[in-house]
Amino acid sequence: MLKSTKPPVWLTDTSGSLDDLKRLVEQDTDKADYPLASAIEQNTVIYAGDTFRTADRTALMTELNRVFDLGPGIVAIKGAISDRATLDAATQIFEQFIEDERGTGGGDHFAKPGANDRVWNAAQKHCLKDPANFAKYFDTPAIDLPCRAWLGEGYQLTAQVNRVNPGGAAQTAHRDYHLGFMPSARVATYPAQVHALSPLLTLQGAIAHCDMPLETGPTLYLPYSHQMLEGYVAFQRDDFQRYFEANRTQLPLEKGDAVFFNPAVMHGAGTNTTTDKFRLANLLQIGSPFGRSIEGVDRAAMCKALYPVLRSHADPHRVIAASAEGYAFPTNLDRDPPIGGLIPESQAEFMSRALSEGMSEDAFVAQLDAQAERKLP
C-alpha cells in the first residue's frame, strides 16, 4: 500500500499535499486480490448477493476487511436483499415516516437543509413500527458480514433513511464520522494517531430501495482516498474538492443492492437531475462497540419489540446484532460485577441466552429491565 510521508504528531489544515492524494488514488484494483468478488468496476469491488449466502464466512470477511483497509475502500453488493416483499414493505414504512415527519426535521449532513428528506434514528423507528419486517430485513448476511468484517462482534447499527428528491443537489465531498463531522480547526486538536483511529471506529453503508441510474445521483466516491492520513484536515480544501470532482467514480445501483465503504473515503451524494424520480436509500452507520455511535438508540425497546418475533426464529444472531447492545460496558461494577468472567453479560448475550432457553416474554422483559437498572450510575 502506498503511504504518505509520516506526519508530525499534530496536523494542520495545510498538512498533506494533493500529490500525496494522487499517488494513492491512482492505484488500480487487482481482481486477483479478491477471488470471491464477481467484478471490479471503477476501482470498486463488486460482489454477488448470493456469495454472502454461500461462501465461507471467514474467507469472505477476510476479503472485505482487505477492501476496507488496504484496498479501494468500497464494496458494492448486487442483490444484497433478495426478498423483494420485505424490501417493499420497508420502503412503505420509510415513506410513511417521511410523510409523518415532513416539516419537523432539522438539517442534513453536507447538504442544503430541506432540499431532501431525512428520517433520523430509522433503525429504532423501523423496529418499533414493524418488528417482524425489521427482523426479516436485517436477517441479511450481506448486511451483517461487512459489519463483522470491519468492526467485529458487538457492532452497533444505526440507520438514517434519505430520500433525494427530483432536483436535489449533490453533497459536498467529505469524509464521515467521527473526525469528518468536525471543522478542520477542531480536527487539528487531535494527534495524528487519532486521525488513524477514526476510520476504524465506523463503517458506512447504504441499501438501495429503488433503482438508481446515474441521472438520479447515486453516491460519488474517490477510491483509495481513505489511505491518506491527513485527509481529515485536507478534504475541505479547494484543490482536494476540485480533484474529487475530476476523478470521482459513480456506479448505478438497482433496488436491493447495497454499498459499504470505509468512512474516510471521500464521497458525497450526487445530484438528482431527474424531474420525477425519488432516490430512496437506507443509510447505515455502524459503530464499533469500543466507540460512540452517532445516534442515541433505545435498544431495550427494540429488544422488547423483537423478542416475540424472534422466539420462533431459527437463527436470530443477525437480528440481535442489528438491535441489541453488543457490549457490556459502560456499567456500574458495584451492581453489575463480572461474576464468572472478566466482563458482565451484554444485552445481546442476554437476549440470545433468553431465546435459547425459551424464556417467557414477561420474564425476558423483567430481566432486561433489571439488567438496565444494574448498569445505572
Whether 293 is covered by a domain: the verdict is: no
Tell how strand 117-119 and strand 44-48 pair up: unpaired
Range of the domain at 89: 18-287
pLDDT at residue 106, as a whole number: 53
CB under 8 Å, gap of 24 or more: what pairs does 333-338 form? 335/373, 335/374, 335/375, 335/376, 336/371, 336/374, 336/375
Whether 122 is covered by a domain: the verdict is: yes
pLDDT at residue 340, as a whole number: 83
First to last CA, the chain: 45
The number of domains in the chain is 2
Whether 2 is covered by a domain: the verdict is: no
Sheet holding 44-48, edge to edge: 39-41, 44-48, 74-78, 258-261, 202-208, 279-287, 156-164, 117-119
Q: Are residues 305 and 242 in the same domain?
A: no
Q: Are residues 223 and 305 in the same domain?
A: no
pLDDT at residue 341, as a whole number: 82
Q: How many CA atoms lie within 13 A of 344 on its CB side?
A: 17
Whether 9 is covered by a domain: the verdict is: no
Q: How many CA atoms lie within 13 A of 69 on its CB side?
A: 14
Picking from 253, 287, 321, the residue at the C-terminal end of a domain is 287
| Best CA proximity match to 201, nearest among 234, 223, 232, 244 | 232
pLDDT at residue 107, as a whole number: 54
CATH of the domain at 136: 2.60.120.620
- Assess contact for 281 and 209: CB atoms under 8 A: yes
Q: At what angle do helices 238-247 and 18-25 cross, to 10 degrees?
A: 20
Picking from 237, 262, 287, the residue at the C-terminal end of a domain is 287
pTM: 0.94
Picking from 255, 287, 319, the residue at the C-terminal end of a domain is 287
User: What SS3 class is residue 101?
Assistant: helix
Q: Are residues 184 and 324 in the same domain?
A: no
pLDDT at residue 339, as a whole number: 80
Q: Are residues 309 and 336 in the same domain?
A: yes
Whether 6 is covered by a domain: the verdict is: no
Q: Are residues 245 and 345 in the same domain?
A: no
pLDDT at residue 2, as a whole number: 54
pLDDT at residue 111, as a whole number: 52
* Torsion sign over Cα 149, 150, 153, 155: negative
For each of the chain's 377 residues, which pLDDT tens digit applies? Answer: 555 556 689 999 899 999 999 999 999 999 999 999 999 999 999 999 999 999 999 999 999 999 999 999 999 999 999 999 999 999 999 999 999 998 765 555 555 555 789 999 999 999 999 999 999 999 999 999 999 999 999 999 999 999 999 999 999 999 999 999 999 899 999 999 999 999 999 999 999 999 999 999 999 999 999 999 999 999 999 999 999 999 999 999 999 999 999 999 999 999 999 999 999 999 999 999 999 999 999 999 999 999 999 999 999 999 999 999 999 999 999 999 998 889 999 999 999 999 999 999 999 999 999 999 999 99
Alpha-carbon separation of residue 64 from 40, 46, 266 (angstroms):
14, 11, 19
Q: Are residues 270 and 320 in the same domain?
A: no
Q: Are residues 41 and 163 in the same domain?
A: yes
